[in-house]
Amino acid sequence: MCGLAGFLILDNGDADEHTSHTMARCAGAMAQRLAHRGPDDEGVWVDAAAGIALAHRRLAIIDLSPAGHQPMLSSCGRFVIAYNGEVYNAAELRADLEARGRRFRGYCDTEVIVEACATWGVEATLERLIGMFAFALWDRRERRLTLARDRLGIKPVYWGRVGNRIAFASELKALAVLPDWSGEIAAQALALYLRYNYVPSPLSIFEGIEKLPPGNLVTIAGDGQCSRHAYWSLEKVAKAGLASPLTIDDAEAEERLENVIANAVKGRMISDAPIGAFLSGGIDSSLVVALMQRAADKPVRTFSIGFREAGYDEAPHARAIARHLETDHTEHYVDAAEAQAVIPRLPQIYDEPFADSSQIPTFLLCKITRRHVTVALSGDGGDELFAGYDRYGYADLWRRRLARIPRPLRQLAGAGIALLSREAIARLLRRLPVPRLRQCEYENLSRLALYLRGSDQALYRDQVSIWQTPPLHKRAHEARLPASPLSAPNERPRLPDYLGWMQYADMRTYLPDDILTKVDRASMAVALEVRVPLLDHRIVELSWRLPTPFKRRDGKTKWLLRRVLARHVPEELYERPKMGFGVPIGDWLRGPLRDWAEDLLSEKRLATDGYLDPAPIRRKWRAHLSAERNWMYPLWTVLMYQAWRADGLGGARLPLRDPKPTHLSGSGLEAMRAQV
């Protein structure tokens, strides 16, 4: 696992030794901004005449020797690569390449990739790779730069125009060192962030900078001409799977799924550095650990964290699973002060606004794990692949209920509700004869209006929206938002199954831009490599061929995963209501974080940059403080934006300052001094 960066100058002019030195110094500064991703080695490669510079920071996992140094040249000298990730079938590819006459200096997967590109071409190589990766490849003969990202978007790459350069990097902070960096906020990206609590691909929070979407590559010529396309398409996989479902019985499905997951887990256990696994005690991580333990010749190292607050502590469940599987288990209980001390670091870890509050325990889990191992396997992806989220059931229930009402009547009722003001709805509700209906809130009726008028897309989008209407002034109004799989009808693939559509939407948006972003930044902040076996593309392709009853049956989510896990762990150890991996942000905002939040949510601070509309934000803040309703999710989304504006890339061009826990002033936090 590593960090990559670099740039291609589009009008380099007459290059000389001074130009080469300046380019190398700039690329080196970019690499320094990624030092946390790769503390073991640094490299810079420059061709001033071509205007290209590649930079790299290395976290040594496979082949710990200097033979793994990057940027790396192919043996023929034509290609240069800077690469981040792990390819788990590298040994097989290497054997094939050696049979074709390629010779290797070491045995790291970077060398396999660059030699494969030289032998088969870039796209043919991408189709052969099994793993997680992002890379920049320079073709010295054709003077052509290629950026590529793995199929599911496990590893990141940002790219775009910065002055007279096409620049790219694993994280935005590396781009911010470039001389012409402007850091202008993209209003459309901000609106989408406030709706979903993350910035969806291909947007970034900055104008002119994109995230390369999963399964995509872009080729950039020396004159700046770009050509991009998908070498792997989730839409094609979903359509093909739903069109050709497997006709197998339960026993055969269990056997088939266990075999493909076991193969993926075993491949991800290859490492020259110490390895372990996250264990929450839930279905996904427990299955990964069970299959790791079966493949290992000694107890697997497992890690979990616990919280004293009721409703947030999964540690006892993880402990029971670890005891049954006989792993070497490490458990760490986190107190409120330790968790809250992470908050000042979040804007610098994530570089752009990011508000999934499980970012806090995720970082702490990575931090504890990194004390013992360099690589950890996780169970991420199981909910998306096997329909594990409760919202799938809620959305489908609403959809079936509304289907009983004739469509013209639904649309008329929805339009009528939408025309009413907040005050008119309040007066109407007070006159209703049913007390339960009198307690209904404006936001709930607004949602009902959306459901009545909207499509399946609108129904599901509402389920995942933090702010139904982002609290922005007109220049960032939602009407200007770009099409996305959750909004524009022409962006929705024609899938015959509504559950399939919801899974598709999550896998295209929420999975790469929230879940995987959270894990990548949290783990890389402490130089920990996290591998996700359930997102092996062969498992993804199999999951789309499994009919719905293998995913949801008899009121149970992830039905087939549960059956496979039952082969290794007694059901009583994992059959329980689903828990989120979170912290009590809502309570903290009324207690120790109140002064910090009040400062960031003051009308003056909210109005500073002219994007946010203070009125709806202040309204929710007052309601939250009075315990009228728990608005922690929309408030946390605004708070993370405000904190990012103050302490992240939104506040300074070179933002990597030491975290200041004193920013979190207020009752209970004055004595907090330990840096996390």
More confident residue, 516 or 666: 516
Alpha-carbon gap, residue 206 to 202, rounded angstroms: 11
- The dihedrals phi and psi of 568, each to the nearest 5 degrees, come to -120, -25
Residue with tokens 């934006």: 641
* 3-state SS assignment for residue 184: coil
Contact of 349 with 322, CB cutoff 8 Å: no
Tokens of 407: 């469509």
More confident residue, 421 or 603: 603
Mean pLDDT confidence for 89-93: 97
Residue 225 exposed, middle or buried by CB count within 10 Å (0-12, 13-18, 19+): exposed
Gyration radius of the chain's alpha carbons = 25
Cis ω before 71 (30° cut-off from 0): yes
Task: Write the class of the CATH domain 236-333+357-387+504-573.
Answer: alpha beta
Looking at residue 428, its pLDDT comes to 64
Residue 172's CB: how many other CB atoms inside 10 A? 23
Answer whether residue 194 shows pLDDT above 80: yes
2 has catalytic annotation: yes
In this prediction, what percent of the chain has a pLDDT beyond 70?
86
pTM, two decimal places: 0.90
Alpha helices in 223-282 (DSSP H): 234-243, 250-267
Residues 6+ apart with CB under 8 A from 307: 313, 315, 333, 334, 339, 361, 583
CA atoms within 13 A on the CB side of 47: 18
Share of the chain residues as helix, strand and coil, in percent rounded to the nearest 5: 45, 15, 40
Delimit the domains of the chain by residue range.
2-232, 236-333+357-387+504-573, 390-503, 585-663
Tokens of 605: 């601070």
What's the residue count for the chain?
676
Mean pLDDT of the chain: 88
- Beta-ladder partners of 43: 56
Tokens of 498: 């509504």
More confident residue, 482 or 45: 45
What fold is seen in the domain 2-232? Answer: Glutamine Phosphoribosylpyrophosphate, subunit 1, domain 1 (3.60.20)
Looking at residue 625, its pLDDT comes to 95
Mean pLDDT confidence for 147-158: 98
Q: What secondary structure does DSSP assign to 126-167, as a single string?
A: HHH--EEEEEEEEETTTTEEEEEE-TT--S--EEEEETTEEE
Q: What secondary structure does DSSP assign to 8-35, as a single string?
A: EESS--S--HHHHHHHHHHHHHHHHTTG
Helices (H) and strands (E) in the chain, counts: 29, 19
Mean pLDDT confidence for 170-199: 94
Contact of 601 with 618, CB cutoff 8 Å: yes
Alpha-carbon gap, residue 122 to 124, rounded angstroms: 6
pLDDT digits (tens, 9 = 90+) for 286-302: 999 999 999 999 999 99
Diameter of the chain measured on Cα atoms: 84
Mean pLDDT confidence for 505-524: 96
Looking at residue 436, its pLDDT comes to 45
Q: 2, 26, 117, 366: which is the annotated catalytic residue?
A: 2
